[in-house]
Amino acid sequence: MRPIPVGAKGTFTLRVMPAHLANQFKDAMLPPVFATPMMIMAMENAALNAIRGYLDPGESAVGTAVDVRHLAATPVGHEVTAEAEVTRVDGRRVAKEWPLEAGRHVIAAVDGRGRRDTVVITVR
């Protein structure tokens, strides 16, 4: 792994499809809106994209903590964008923060932002 600078950023964009909806994950009677597990998946991908360019061949990253609130419903057809920014690096441990937006509305945050911790691993 090459040194990962604080401030490195990554994004991930997804158009909400029927397979991404809450009523597909828990209970069919839930409204047809973007599911929290899919929201976290978008954030995870943005977080990986923030550090991907610093990883050596055979390395990836796994999440060790996610702290987020799902603040707004997003229907099918809307585009969701997560942007991650590295906020702390301690050896192979990397902390990131991100907002997640649908259009211009923040739909996920903890006090305005989400947080994710990862560890860089070697895949064998």
Q: Is residue 97 among the annotated active site residues?
A: no
Which is the catalytic residue, given 11, 13, 20, 36?
36
CA–CA gap between residue 104 and residue 76 (Å, rounded): 16
- Could you give the 3-state DSSP secondary structure of residue 122? strand
DSSP β-bridge partners for residue 60: 121
Q: Is 101 a catalytic residue?
A: no
| Annotated active-site residue in 70, 83, 101, 118 | 70
20 flagged as catalytic: no
| Active-site option among 11, 13, 44, 59 | 44
Of 41, 122, 25, 32, which is closest to residue 76 (Cα–Cα)? 32
Hey, which residues are catalytic here?
Answer: 36, 44, 70
